[in-house]
Structure 1
Amino acid sequence: MPAMKNKTASKERVLMVHNFYQIGGGEHTVFENEKKLLRENGHYLVEYTRDNAELNESKIKKILLPFTAVFSFKTYREIKRIIRKEKIDIVHCHNTFPLISPSVYYAAWSCGVPAVQTIHNFRFLCPNGVFFSNGRICEDCLHKGLHCGIKKGCYRESRIQTIVVANMLAVHRLLGTYKKLRYIFLTDFNRKKFHKLLGSKIKHEFIKPNFEYITTPDVNKTNDGSFVFIGRLDKNKGIDFLMDNWDLQKELYIFGNGELEEYVRSQCEKNEKLHYMGFQPQEKIWEYLSKAAAMLFPTDLYEGFPMTIIEAFALGTPVICSDIGNGADIIKKEDAGTVFKPRNKESLMYAIKEAENNYKKFSANAKKAYDLHYTPDSNYEKLKSIYKAVKK
């Protein structure tokens, strides 16, 4: 018992920081997964979270947001108090916008503790965080300046709200905040985008993908010939493209909800091969995903590191992805599916046929990729080495 106690005591004491959005997503899942991972491996972990729902409860918070998004004295005081009280070794941040703010980094540095930021999106480079505007990929703010986003009102289609984000970014670029941070990028694609802001010789940058807790049955995998879409029912996720162009005599099961839900329902009523499943528990989704010929990922976005792709890999299900950004890079790297030109029906049909013809190879490669790179065990080894490096 004493030996176990010493082993646990030698591991980093981590403060995990996250600002929840009003609508959950992949970042929330990653935050919860990493908390569980660290605790399972004997780390002492403290959480510091805030929720954007707070803005609906207080008019004062909304009025002060243009200032507190830049620097929250509430966050600064609370983080310093936690670090000192809990003897924290590392502050690991996920999302800090808008309530937590970059003040969390300064609180850590003032206590002599390194701050590590996992990059889930492109918020430091683009006010809306996704490099997407007016129905297309847009990197104007990266190459021409933040005024481009303000002019277009990219954040929530509001110039005023975009000014709040752009002001926060501009102030902390001027202060050099972002160049002092340690970064965990989910992919090399993301890391290269940040070189415009940070330079190509960042001292402390690491690449660690997301992972997922998923237990797969040790049986021969079946393929019932169906296809699955999992995600938000928003236009930039490509669901409208699928609905408009699905004339195959193959079953397509659609999991998720969002602004296009009624449209998806109406299309499903017209086409007996389309099945709207709505929001379902993970186990139910995995049941359908495990039997599918492929998962469809027709996004218009670069994305961060889609959790649904990891889930498909874990179940040995190939992925058919639009040839753009991180999704396509992952599929090509692992040779675990096919890609198609975004919003091109002919290209999609060819990709589906190719995936069907090479199902066994893609399925085996997907499962192999998960086992090698996306399990909790493999991820912890990466995270452990990152923590060791940033403490030097």
Structure 2
Amino acid sequence: MKILLANKFYYRRGGDCIYMLNLEKLLKAYGHEVAVFAMDYPENLDTPWKKYFPKDMSKLMAFTRPFGDGEVKSKFSQLLNDFKPDVVHLNNIHTQLSPLIAKLAHEYGAKVVWTLHDSKLVCPCYTCMRDGKWCEECFTDKLAVVKHRCMPGSIPGAIVGYLEAKKWNCNILPKYVDLFLPPSKFMMDTCVKGGYSPEKFRVLCNFIDVTRLPPISQIPLIKGDYYAFLGRVSEMKGVRTLCKAAAQLNKKLIVIGGGELLPELKDTYRNCPHIEFKGQMQWEEFMPILQKAKFMVLSSECSENNPLTVIEAQSLGTPVLGANIGGIPELIEEGVSGMTFTSGDVEDLKDKILKMFEHHFDYEAIAKNAIERYSSEAYYEKLMKIYEKSF
């Protein structure tokens, strides 16, 4: 089968990019021909398909490309004609590439599926969050993004977000997409609330490349006397709240990741012996730390979709303490593979951290169940049924 993968970036920038790179590897391992389409960006991995990539988006292009500019149209059309895909699998394409490519792929005659890594289909600013709280106002009134100036760039950015949402709406996009593939039921329900038909959705949880995992026999039966955070050090990830809680406990927290809050938090807690900031690390560097951690904490204060960090931790036999928000609770079996706490609540977080240290978890069983649930092989079988089915 010939499969064309599209995502705005082509390097390990975030969960959407990691997913697409892993999917490319998986599909090739099963003998499929795979092409990629992305924006020409300095950090991109090298690929023979880069000649088809539209150039990096300038500030001026931010006012035109979300609606589908001439370069995106011509280069993507050329790629369709040259590669002749059976399936076009979209990922994060808004703004830098635009949903125009869904329309072009559909008109070409390819099957079109779209993995949803965020709530952009129903929220112009991707998150359904405003002033730190869940917001559904744009579900019924797209002008709310202008009224509240939710987009970067204040009024100009908000106007572009409004016009983009009006152009690529719940009445238009389903005409060009055979199936939307949200990795969580939460994301599907969010889109349905925003006006999409549930018949156009199939929940397909993210996967992990099990070849990158150490053997289950190497899972430590006795974990280290610390817990870990893995992810972007930002307000949305709740790291400020986490550090407030950690500073009040006599338990070591290792924070793995970079982000805009890192310099501030390192300075604030420079004399706190319970918090260690590791900064940005690659898989080979943080994997042993995560595997030996008593548990991982995901302190998000935004409604995450299907966070890969939870899947990675559990696949290493490490239980997860996750914020009870978005799709996170779908990944955690209370008391078996972890626990949940009230997002943004320092006191509840402190209480659950202590309970996680006291609770007995079967680390080997956590790893086995996670690998069975999230393995690339299981994912591939489900994805092939979707690719091959007629709609």
- Judged with a 3 Å threshold, the aligned counterparts in structure 2 of structure 1 residues 169 and 249 are, in CA distance, closer, same or farther, namely same
Return the alpha-carbon distance in structure 2 between the equivalents of residues 333 and 91 of structure 1: 37
Which residue number in structure 1 is paired with residue 213 of structure 2?
215
Q: 2:95 aligns with which of 79, 93, 98?
A: 98
User: TM-score by structure 2 length?
Assistant: 0.89
Per-residue deviation, 1:59: 11
CA contact (8 A) 2:39 2:56 kept: no
CA pair 377-345 structure 1, distance change in 2 beyond 3 A: same
Shift of 1:309: 0.6
Q: Which amino acid aligns with 2:328?
A: G
How many pairs were matched up? 375
Report the equivalent of 1:313: 314
Q: Answer 1 or 2: which has greater helix percent.
A: 1
Quickly say closer, same or farther: Cα 1:124–1:34, change in 2 above 3 A: same
Residue identity opposite 2:66 in structure 1: A
Amino acid at match of 2:7: H
**Residue equivalent to 2:290:** 289
> What does residue 6 of structure 1 align with?
none
Other-structure match for 1:205: 201
What do residues 148-207 of structure 1 show as CA deviations (whole Å, max 9, x unaligned)? Answer: 1221111226221122122112012286224541211101111111113444442x4222
Contact 1:184-1:205 at 8 Å conserved across structures: yes
User: Which amino acid in the other structure matches residue 160 of structure 2?
Assistant: V
* Distance change (3 Å), C-alpha of 1:367 and 1:318: same
1:109 equivalent among 106, 109, 127: 106
Residue in structure 2 matched with residue 378 of structure 1 by the alignment: 378
Asked if 1 retains the 8 angstrom alpha-carbon contact of 2:229 and 2:298, the reply is yes
The alpha carbon displacement at 1:70 in A equals: 1.0
- Equivalent pair of 2:41/2:55 in contact (CA under 8 Å): no
* C-alpha deviation, 1:76, in angstroms: 2.3
Structure 2: unaligned runs, 5 residues or longer: 44-53
Shift of 1:281: 1.8
* Cα 1:175–1:321 shift into 2, 3 Å: closer
Three-state SS of the structure 1 residue aligned to 2:37 is strand
Amino acid at match of 2:366: A
Match of 1:149 in 2: 145
Deviations 1:253-282 (A, max 9, x none): 111111111122123422111111111121
Query: CA 1:156/1:53 → structure 2, altered by over 3 Å: closer, same or farther?
Result: farther
**Which residue of 2 is the match for residue 140 of structure 1?**
137
Q: Which residue of 29, 35, 38 maps to 1:46? A: 35
Q: Deviations over 1:35-60 (max 9, x none)?
A: 10100111000111115679xx9999
Backbone CA RMSD of aligned residues: 2.4
Q: Would you identify which runs of 4 or more consecutive aligned residues in structure 1 move more than 6 Å?
A: 57-60
Could you tell which deviates more after superposition, 126-135 or 344-353? 344-353
Shift of 1:74: 2.1
Q: In structure 2, what is the Cα distance between the partners aligned to 1:20 and 1:187?
A: 22
Counterparts of residues 150-169 of structure 1 (less than 5 Å): 150-156=146-152, 158-169=154-165
Task: Kindly provide the CA deviation profile for residues 204-230 of structure 1, in whole angstroms up to 9, marking residues without a partner as x.
Answer: 422211112231232242311211011
CA distance in 1, matches of 2:109, 2:280: 44
Q: Is the 8 A contact 1:77 1:107 kept in 2?
A: no
- For residues 76 and 339 of structure 1, do their structure 2 counterparts lie closer, same or farther at Cα, with a shift above 3 Å needed? same
Partner of 1:278: 279
Matched, 1:35 2:24: yes
Q: Deviations along 1:106-159, whole A, 9 cap, x unmatched? A: 2112211121111000011111111111122222212x4111122111122622
Greater displacement, 333-342 / 34-43: 333-342
| 2:226 aligned partner, one-letter code | S
Cα gap change, 1:174/1:183 in structure 2, threshold over 3 Å: closer, same or farther? closer
3-state DSSP class of the match of 2:317? coil
Secondary structure of 1:360's counterpart equals coil
What is the CA-CA distance between 1:293 and the residue it aligns to?
0.8
CA 1:53–1:103: 2 relative to 1, 3 Å: farther
Change (3 A) 1:70 1:377: same
Q: 1:286 to 1:207 in 2, by over 3 A?
A: same
Q: 2:71 aligns with which of 69, 74, 81?
A: 74
Q: Which amino acid aligns with 1:38?
A: L
Check whether the contact 2:3–2:86 (CA below 8 A) recurs between aligned residues: yes
State the TM-score, normalized to the length of structure 1.
0.89
Q: Could you tell me whether the CA contact under 8 Å between 2:236 and 2:300 is conserved in 1?
A: yes
Alignment of 1:169-318 (within 5 A): 169-173=165-169, 176-181=172-177, 182-202=179-199, 204-213=200-209, 214-217=212-215, 218-221=217-220, 222-246=222-246, 247-318=248-319
CA contact (8 A) 1:229 1:255 kept: yes
Identity score, percent: 24
